[in-house]
Amino acid sequence: MRDKYRMVFSGSGGQGIITAAVIISEAAVLYENLNAVQTQSYGPAARGGSSRSDVIISKSEIFFPKVIQPNTLICLTQAAYNEFSGIVRPGGILITDSKYVSIEKKVDADQIEIPIYDTVKKEIGNPVVFNICLLGVIIKIKQIVKKESIIKVMEQRIPAGFLNMNIDAIELGMSMTSAIKNEI
Amino acid sequence: MKKNTVFVQGNEACVLGALYAELDLFAGYPITPSTEIAELLSERLPQEGKYFMQMEDEIASICAIIGASLTGSKVMTATSGPGFSLMQEALGYAVMAEIPCVIVNVQRGGPSTGNPTHVSQGDVNQARWGTHGDHSIITMTASNHQDVFSVTVDAFNLAETYRTPVILLFDEVIGHMREKLILPEKDEIKLIKRLKTEVAEGVDFRPYLPRDDGRIPMADFGGVHRHNVTGLFHDMWGFPSNNPKIVDGLIHHLVDKINNNINTIAKVKEFHIDDARTIFISYGASARTARHVVENRRSRGERVGLLELITLWPFPSHIIREKCRKARFVIVVEMNFGQILKEVKACIDEPEKVFLANRVDGVLITVQDIRKILRIVQGKGI
């Protein structure tokens, strides 16, 4: 992997973006010997308004814990897209879900529109694993952590009866896209 | 991965430190951004056969831990600014009656209910002087979870060693942020046990009679020795006294037991200080931003360094004065209007070389904020 990944997950409360941010960070720390710092917005914003979680994953020690310019920006609502799309680092990637976000402006980033929600609904039937499918998309596009590391974290966090559905969601996400080679 | 690596919030690191230090009882009233401390302890303490008490407010919370500490328990409460304000009266009681306890304040924006979900470092002076009357107090902070864990253990040790309340002054960013923590093995950090009296039942017990080394053994309240505990000035039996000699002796004892041990108590972390022309002084979440700037500039050969304060009170004046002697500029980085800045200016030989980089809008001070001040201080314009 590159030395440092800066990611911002944005959307609305209940979409599971904070859980997704915690899982990928924990996978990096516990199973890939990397450093990670995760922060999130608290309060009213996280309960209906635009919610946001910042993640830095790095080979070296991380000091300033927030993300000013993400290499990877994920926007899962129109409001989050409108608020945050301008912060993506030039040359970075902006991932949106085509069900929730219609791309309105051009940013200096690779814009990747993927119908994650609709595909999860169709292939798995339960939208609860929407956020896990998103992780599959992210780790396929950028090889930040291995699928196996994420599954190990989920084994600890997710009730056994739901684990297989979550593993299916990761694999589904990985099948929906391809890797980006010229990452910044 | 090391087998005892966890990925946790700062508040959880504090909980794990408290459990490592053998916390017996927590009483509290949950408040953002400290809530996870109460939440996690409400689960963990009963599992270990220990006590969690949800109180009706913060006044009751600190009074409950003071009472429990007197019975021989290691105790803690956690709150944020509004609750810490309510605790000030009883905090002074714990100072006067010399009752070991740990009070965590995960700072949010103030005054009043302020800015609950956002970061601030505005309670630094409140920790020092929030309760009335001359006194000394120990206050510590941390900028990463490894240090949150270890200062929490230290806080219990210092509380027992000096028979004093110890304040842990964290902030919203550190409390809520998740990062790696490597849990020390059992016995890796030494724990200080309560010093208990050896006076036998039926023999006159003097609860405030120091040993030769200055430490004062305690008897478990409700045990074999009946004794008085008061917030009034008191004699060695714990009974009220306004005898000037006794008053003078006690107030000096309360201040000196901490101030005279500043070399043992005070902890400062140094990063690239030796040849630094510009020294940043910072603590808590602000120190992460300052460190970011320092490491970045050092990699380009610029002579900058960071003094990170772990102990805020007693203020490590002697260390600051010595370390900053050769620096051309000293920049204090904090999220308030300069509460530590004033202490630094007061202890340094040339106060005119001290500047403030601050932010008070509830947003973590950024690398850009510090860079801007650095440029102005160095005469480079914005």
> Tens of pLDDT along B154-191?
999 999 999 999 999 999 999 999 999 999 999 999 99
**Is 0.95 surpassed by the pTM of this model?**
yes
Top-level class of domain B5-182: alpha beta
CB B178 within 8 A of CB B150: no
The candidate with the shortest Cα–Cα distance to B34, out of B48, B14, B59, B52, is B14
* Chain B interface disruption, residue of A29, A63, A145, most B CBs within 10 A: A63
Could you give the residue range(s) of every CATH 3.40.50.920 domain in chain B? 266-377
CB pairs under 8 A between A and B: 66
pLDDT digits (tens, 9 = 90+) for A139-165: 999 999 999 999 999 999 899 899 999
DSSP per-residue codes, B347-360:
HSS-GGGEEEEE--
Residue of A nearest to B366 (CA): A64
Q: Phi first, then psi: what are they for A127, rounded to 5°?
A: -70, -5
> Are A42 and B178 inside 8 Å of each other by CB?
no
> Are A30 and B7 inside 8 Å of each other by CB?
yes
Residue of B nearest to A26 (CA): B7
Alpha helix stretches (DSSP H) within chain B:
10-20, 35-47, 58-70, 81-86, 88-97, 124-129, 145-162, 172-176, 244-259, 262-265, 284-298, 317-324, 339-347, 367-377
pLDDT digits (tens, 9 = 90+) for B346-369: 999 999 999 999 999 999 999 999
Is ipTM strictly over 0.90?
Answer: yes
**Residue A69 has which token pair?**
């310019």
What is the predicted pLDDT for the residue at A184? 47
Distance CA B240, CA B18 (A): 34
Could you tell me the domains of chain A? 4-175 (3.40.920.10)
B266-377 folds as Rossmann fold (3.40.50)
Could you give the residue range(s) of every CATH 3.40.50.970 domain in chain B? 5-182
**Residue A160 has which token pair?**
């056994």
The candidate with the shortest Cα–Cα distance to A136, out of A158, A110, A154, A157, is A154
Chain A residues closer than 8 Å to B362 by CB:
none
How would you label A81-113 residue by residue, b for 16+ Cβ within 10 Å and e otherwise?
A: beebbebbbeebbbbbbebbbeeeeebebbbee
